[in-house]
């Protein structure tokens, strides 16, 4: 699944991403690396998000930041607000845990799905049930929609959240 998501991102022109590493997002990071995407690693999610926002400001293309689950996602909020107010395209690619783990409040969980709602152009979710090989079109469609919304269709450019729940980190 991660490889398909990254393949669709590169079809939309992705050439660089900022990574705030964590075990849950490993599959995404490995797929980005294997696709030859230029990766910049930051241990602080807030700094990573602003680095991605700088890319958006410099290029007019969506800056992409990748994080693990839980409080890591909350640390993206300042850059999300800035991207919203400045109408800059920012794509937040966050790894998540399955919904049943979030409901049980297990380690590194919180409700990530709607955290950025007041400031984002869209919140898209890919759940574990969407991860069978037949989900290929679901994954590609979510990525295409995320890029379209980030670039301003149908309104102003801004932040978009693509949240992906993984059963297990790989």
CATH of the domain at 8: 3.40.50.970
Domain with 150 in it: 2-165
Give buried/exposed letters for 36-48 (b at 16+ CB in 10 A, else e): ebeeeebeebbeb
Ramachandran quadrant class, 167 (left: phi over 0; alpha: psi -120 to 50; beta: rest): alpha
Asked whether residue 159 is domain-assigned, the answer is yes
> Given the structure tokens 């409040």, which residue do they identify?
105
User: For the chain (length 170 residues), average pLDDT per consecutive 10?
Assistant: 93 97 92 98 97 97 94 96 98 85 63 88 83 75 97 94 79
Asked whether residue 131 is domain-assigned, the answer is yes
Write out pLDDT tens, residues 49-70.
999 999 999 999 999 999 988 8
Asked whether residue 20 is domain-assigned, the answer is yes
Decide: residue 62, CB within 10 A, 0-12 exposed, 13-18 middle, 19+ buried. buried
Helix residue ranges per DSSP H, 90-135: 99-103
Residue 108 confidence (pLDDT): 66
Asked whether residue 30 is domain-assigned, the answer is yes
Residue 97 confidence (pLDDT): 76
87: tokens are 């109408």
Residue 40 confidence (pLDDT): 98
Q: How many domains does the chain have?
A: 1
CA distance 111 to 25: 17
**Whole-structure pTM value:** 0.91
Asked whether residue 170 is domain-assigned, the answer is no
Asked whether residue 40 is domain-assigned, the answer is yes
Asked whether residue 102 is domain-assigned, the answer is yes
């Amino acid at each position: 699944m991660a490889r398909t998501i990254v393949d669709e991102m590169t079809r939309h022109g992705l050439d660089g991403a900022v990574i705030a590493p964590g075990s849950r997002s490993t599959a995404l990071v490995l797929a980005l690396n294997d696709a030859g995407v230029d990766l910049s690693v930051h241990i602080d999610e807030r700094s990573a998000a602003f680095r991605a926002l700088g890319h958006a400001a410099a290029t007019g293309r969506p800056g992409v930041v990748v994080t693990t689950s839980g409080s890591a996602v909350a640390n993206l909020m300042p850059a999300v607000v800035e991207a919203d107010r400045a109408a800059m395209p920012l794509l937040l690619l966050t790894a998540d845990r399955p919904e049943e783990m979030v409901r049980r409040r297990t380690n590194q969980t919180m409700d990530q799905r709607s955290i950025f709602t007041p400031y984002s152009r869209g919140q898209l979710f890919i759940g574990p049930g969407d991860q069978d090989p037949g989900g290929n079109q679901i994954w590609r469609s979510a990525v295409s929609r995320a890029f379209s919304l980030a670039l301003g269709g149908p309104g102003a450019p801004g932040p978009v959240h693509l949240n992906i729940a993984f059963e297990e980190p790989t």
